[in-house]
Amino acid sequence: MRVRKSLVMLVYLLFVLVPIYWLVNMSFKSNREILGGLTLWPTTPTLDNYRVIFTEPTWYTSYLNSLSYVSMNMVISLMVALPAAYAFSRYRFLGDKHMFFWLLTNRMAPPAVFLLPFFQLYSAVGLFDTPIAVALAHCLFNVPLAVWILEGFMSSVPKEIDETAYIDGYTFPKFFVRIFLPMIRPGIGVTAFFCFMFSWVELLLARTLTSVDAKPIVSQMTRTVSASGIDWGVLAAAGVVALLPGIAVIYFVRNHVAKGFALGRV
């Protein structure tokens, strides 16, 4: 039984890792080697593809653009979701259940539905082609998710803690920042991870709301087709570079991620 389990796990991990290995493998090859035939590892490893990404301004600025709207989105989502999640986890109020479901419906809305209205809305308020526009647009699906996860984590903190703190003379803001937030730190970490993840990987809205100045890495990558065909090596290297922030983030939340995936509800 033991052996069979490990075998299943190994096979699955292999299935997960082979395509990623292939990407890494290609990123160290020159285009001539890639198109020259199938090799399981780079025969003449080269860093040229990475050099292109880190020296050409269109590449590294698009990388920075992505990082900037993703971090803005993380901050905005957490700032608005924290108090709301507290309200949902501690109080009943007029229309609370409807409000909660309505928030969730925004997570369900296909971004394709919102493309055109978003384009017009952000053009009208003069935010088109800025990172903040993308950050706000991504709030559409990240804020409901953040509220949902945080509400789960907050509900597992006993209510007696709030009451004791109020008796001890804490005001709400002081209690919230000094006592409550440190208690749900793992939840905040996981929420930040999810916001990061869904904002980092999204292409459709990010591409529609930007053109030149705020172009994200994901849409820069769709433009590697030149006169000589697709530049596979650079594309692969860009893919690898785009993977790195995610790995860094997941390393920090690795111990809480399983709980977070269940949206704090286990």
Partner 1 sequence: MKTYNNKAWWLVLPVFALVAFSAIIPMMTVVNYSIQDIFDPNTRYFVGTEWYREILADPRLLDSLLRQFVYSLCVLVIEVPLGIIVALSMPRRGLGVPVSLILLSLPLLVPWNVVGTIWQIIGREDIGLYGWILNSIGLDYNYASNPRDAWATVLIMDVWHWTSLVALLCYSGLRSIPDVYYQAARIDRASHWAVFRFIQLPKLKNVLLIAVMLRFMDSFMIYTEPFVLTGGGPGTATTFLSQTLTQMALGQFDLGRAAAFSLIYFLIILLVTWVFYTAMTHNDDKG
Closest distance to partner 1 from the beta carbon of 65 (Å): 13
Residue placing its CB nearer to partner 1 in the complex, 87 or 183: 87
3-state secondary structure 138-188: HHHHHHHHHHHHHHHHHHCCCHHHHHHHHHCCCCHHHHHHHHHHHHCHHHH
Closest CB to partner 1 among 183 and 239?
239
Q: Which two tokens stand for residue 179?
A: 């006592």
- Name residues contacting partner 1, limited to 199-228 (CB under 8 A): 200-204, 208, 217-218, 221-222
CA distance 38 to 195: 38
Residue number with CB closer to partner 1 (37 or 182): 37
Determine if 179 is a binding residue for partner 1 (CB under 8 A): no
The dihedral region occupied by 93, where left means phi > 0, alpha psi between -120 and 50, and beta the remainder, is beta
Rule CB under 8 A: is residue 175 a binding residue for partner 1?
Answer: no
Integer Cα distance of 111 and 178 in angstroms: 37
Contact code string over 29-68 relative to partner 1, x by CB under 8 A: -----xx-xx-x----------------------------
Q: Which helix (H) or strand (E) holds 225?
A: strand 225-226
Which of 67, 97, 72, 82 lies closest to 191 in space, CA to CA?
82
Cβ of residue 233: shortest distance to partner 1, in angstroms? Answer: 11
Q: How far apart (Å, rounded) are the C-alpha atoms in residues 42 and 189?
A: 38
The reply on whether position 149 binds partner 1 by CB under 8 A is: no
* Interface with partner 1 (CB under 8 A), residue from 44, 56, 90, 174: 90
Residue whose CB is less far from partner 1, 130 or 208: 208
Of 16, 70, 253, nearest in space to 149 by CA: 253
Helices assigned H by DSSP within 28-47: 31-36
Q: Shortest approach of partner 1 to residue 168 CB, angstroms?
A: 19
What is the per-residue binding string for partner 1 in 112-141, x denoting contact by CB under 8 A? xxxxxxx-xx--------------xx-xx-
Using CB under 8 A as the binding rule, whether residue 174 contacts partner 1 is answered as no
**Which residues, including other chains, have CB under 8 Å from residue 191's CB and lie 6 or more apart?**
77, 78, 81, 145, 146, 149, 150, 153, 260
Provide, rounded to whole angstroms, the least separation between the CB of residue 262 and partner 1: 4
Least distance (Å) between residue 22 CB and partner 1: 5
Token pair of 198 as six digits: 């869904």
Applying CB under 8 A, which of residues 60, 106, 170, 179 lies at the interface with partner 1? 106
By CB under 8 A, residue 239 contacts partner 1: yes
